[in-house]
């Protein structure tokens, strides 16, 4: 589904990401972990086409998507959410989700306003998709609420809803559980697992909540200072001495 090969990014003199390679199989849930500044968000930006890499390639379903643009990447079926939920607080929950749905539709605004038959059919389908996504994320009863009035946990859900509304086959989630308490984080993990099944999604997530990562992901890639130091199953990564030293700490301190 996704093949990252030799991906590097330099900002000025700083190598934020060095020669990163890994792949994600269809239907897998893969975690990208590492300490602050390890290059995780940079990797997401390069994969989603938000930033051009200094070197390396990204292939999604066999298409070369290196360097984006993000609109093409989304249309191919690869969507992302952002670390700080990028919602419009003064728009309603439903209006926020429409943004995502329209990104995939790719219809220009004049076409949406002065619509021909084909556009009208596409828009009718789009209304259904927005309703489906709101229901899936448990936000249907709040569809007309202002997004800025949602609880923090629901705002995180809305971020996922906006990504899902683009009808992706793969979703990149940047710290989906940041700021959630352990119970909310566990519930979020269950939600992601059920979304994977219901939508046949492939998921790649950056996350610091280790309990969530270890419980949810089937494969984990560990970055430290821009470099991949390990990858494998949660168990293999948890037991890897280099990972323990650089990131996780001693096993007895690590509550997965």
Ligand X SMILES: Nc1ncnc2c1ncn2[C@@H]1O[C@H](COP(=O)(O)OP(=O)(O)OP(=O)(O)O)[C@@H](O)[C@H]1O
Verify binding: residue 8, ligand X, rule CB under 6 A.
no
Chain centroid to CA 215:
17
Verify binding: residue 34, ligand X, rule CB under 6 A.
yes
Two structure tokens written together for 43? 């990797």
Of residues 37 and 67, the one with the C-beta less far from ligand X: 37
Q: Which of 7, 16, 230, 246 binds ligand X (CB under 6 A)?
A: 16
Of residues 147 and 216, the one with the C-beta less far from ligand X: 216
Terminal Cα-to-Cα distance of the chain (whole angstroms): 28
> Would you tell me how many other CB atoms lie within 10 Å of the CB of residue 61?
14
Verify binding: residue 40, ligand X, rule CB under 6 A.
yes
Cα distance between residue 197 and residue 161, in whole Å: 16
Query: In the bound complex, what is the minimum distance in angstroms from residue 138's beta carbon to ligand X?
Result: 27
- Helix axis angle, 93-105 relative to 152-164, nearest 10°? 20
Query: In the bound complex, what is the minimum distance in angstroms from residue 230's beta carbon to ligand X?
Result: 15
Q: Which of 3, 19, 37, 55 binds ligand X (CB under 6 A)?
A: 37
Verify binding: residue 179, ligand X, rule CB under 6 A.
no
SS3 (DSSP) at 228: strand
Cα distance between residue 232 and residue 222, in whole Å: 9
Q: Which stretch binds ligand X (CB under 6 A): 38-46, 149-157, 234-242, 244-252?
A: 38-46
Query: In the bound complex, what is the minimum distance in angstroms from residue 133's beta carbon to ligand X?
Result: 26
Verify binding: residue 39, ligand X, rule CB under 6 A.
yes
In what side-by-side order are the strands of the sheet with 202-206? 78-80, 170-174, 202-206, 29-33, 219-224, 227-232
Of residues 11 and 152, the one with the C-beta less far from ligand X: 11
Which residues contact ligand X (rule: CB under 6 A)? 11, 14, 16, 34, 36-42
């Amino acid at each position: 589904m996704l093949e990252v090969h030799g991906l590097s990014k330099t900002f000025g003199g700083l190598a934020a990401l060095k020669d990163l390679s890994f792949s994600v199989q269809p239907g897998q849930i893969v975690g990208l972990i590492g300490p602050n500044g390890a290059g995780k968000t940079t990797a997401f930006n390069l994969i989603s086409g938000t930033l051009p890499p200094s070197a390396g390639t990204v292939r999604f379903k066999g298409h070369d998507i290196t360097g984006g643009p993000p609109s093409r990447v989304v249309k191919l079926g690869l969507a992302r959410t952002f670390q700080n939920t990028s919602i419009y607080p003064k728009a309603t929950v439903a209006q926020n989700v429409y943004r995502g749905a329209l990104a995939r539709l790719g219809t220009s605004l004049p076409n949406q306003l002065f619509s021909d038959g084909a556009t009208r059919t596409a828009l009718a389908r789009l209304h259904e998709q927005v309703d489906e996504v709101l229901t899936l994320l448990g936000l249907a009863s709040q569809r007309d609420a202002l997004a800025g009035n949602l609880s923090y946990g629901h705002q995180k859900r809305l971020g996922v809803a906006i990504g899902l509304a683009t009808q992706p086959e793969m979703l990149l989630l940047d710290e989906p559980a940041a700021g959630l308490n352990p119970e909310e984080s566990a519930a979020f993990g269950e939600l992601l697992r059920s979304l994977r099944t219901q939508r046949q999604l492939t998921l790649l997530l950056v996350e610091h909540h280790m309990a969530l990562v270890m419980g949810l992901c089937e494969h984990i890639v560990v970055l430290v200072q821009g470099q991949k130091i390990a990858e494998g199953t949660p168990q293999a990564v948890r037991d890897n001495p280099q990972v323990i030293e650089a990131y996780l700490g001693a096993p007895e301190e690590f509550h997965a």
